[in-house]
Amino acid sequence: MEELNQKEVSRLRKEIDSVQSRFFHLLSITSVVMMVLAAGFVLRLFPKLIWNLDALETERYYIPQSLCGLFCLVALLCWYVLQQRQSLKSTQKQLISELVRRETAEQLALIDPLTEMDNRRHMTRAIASETARADRQNSMFAFLMIDVNGFKQANDTLGHLAGDQILRELSLLLQKTFRSSDIISRFGGDEFLVLLVDCDQQMAVRAEERLQRAVAEWNKGEPIKGYTMSVSCGSAVCQKGVDATAVLTAADQAMYQNKTAFTPDNQPPKAAAAVV
């Protein structure tokens, strides 16, 4: 489906370019024809420029008819050009509208509507791209899986609107905490996934610790009355030649191990990262 959408967008772009090319050719042909007609018109008005007077004496009676025909030809040509120009403009407008609609739909398909962050579909593309880059450049990257502790209970106690606000607040917190080069997505439900670009084991651990500090700081302001945020994290580092799916699974398992040790009265265990 994604490949089909890309082909459709590419086809629309080519059709728009084709319309623009046809419009340019139409203008070129029109310019040449108008120049030829203008030259003929001038020669009819000033025949002495190329013909002798004796020859013109026999043709002077045909000059009005020729000029009339010339004017008719010019009028028809102008009408044709205007019609073609209008048709090409209409076609181009339709193609551009369709292209904008397709590209907008494609963009919306990659965004989570609640948090306005990248969704799982976009993250899947990013993982494939980053894996290829890591293989080419012999670099490392890390997955950081994040889950909101006690989210279902908060949803049931405070209501679904408060639950939505929790997810939005966490998404904003993630964007402020991590680098602009990192890719953050809502992976599903109350789970978020961060792809840490050019990241080794120590950097992944520090990223987890930085997030926990940011959550603790957020709680001090009590943005949501009656709610204290807590998150569980798990990370895994991917190296060249390693299956990214296995690394993602390792990060997910590390997050669940972190989560099982959580209770409302204590904090999650110390962050740790694994190299797969």
88 near 19, Cβ under 8 Å?
yes
Q: What is the mean pLDDT of the chain?
A: 78
247 near 236, Cβ under 8 Å?
yes
In this prediction, residue 177 carries a pLDDT of 94
Query: Per residue in 100-132, pLDDT tens?
Result: 666 565 665 678 888 888 888 889 989 999 999
Q: From CA 23, how far away is CA 4, in angstroms rounded?
A: 29
Taken in order 57, 58, 62, 66, the sign of the CA dihedral is negative
Query: Per residue in 8-30, pLDDT tens?
Result: 666 666 666 666 666 666 666 66
Amino acid occupying residue 158: L
**Mean predicted confidence (pLDDT) in 152-169:** 91
From residue 3, give the alpha-carbon distance in Å to each of 25, 39, 124, 216: 33, 54, 14, 43
142 near 203, Cβ under 8 Å?
yes
pTM metric for this prediction: 0.63
190 near 122, Cβ under 8 Å?
no
Query: Per residue in 25-49, pLDDT tens?
Result: 666 666 766 676 666 666 656 655 5
User: What residues contact 247, with CB distance under 8 A and at least 6 apart?
Assistant: 143, 236, 237, 238, 276
Residue count of the chain, please give it. 276
Enumerate the H helices of the chain as residue ranges: 2-45, 53-57, 63-108, 120-137, 151-158, 160-177, 201-221, 244-260
Query: Per residue in 204-244, pLDDT tens?
Result: 999 999 999 999 999 998 888 889 999 999 999 998 888 99
- 50-54, 135-139, 150-154, 207-211: least confident range: 50-54
Structural tokens at position 42: 């001038």
In this prediction, residue 3 carries a pLDDT of 46
Indicate if the pLDDT at residue 65 is higher than 60. Answer: no
Indicate if the pLDDT at residue 61 is higher than 80. Answer: no
In this prediction, residue 4 carries a pLDDT of 42
201 near 237, Cβ under 8 Å?
yes
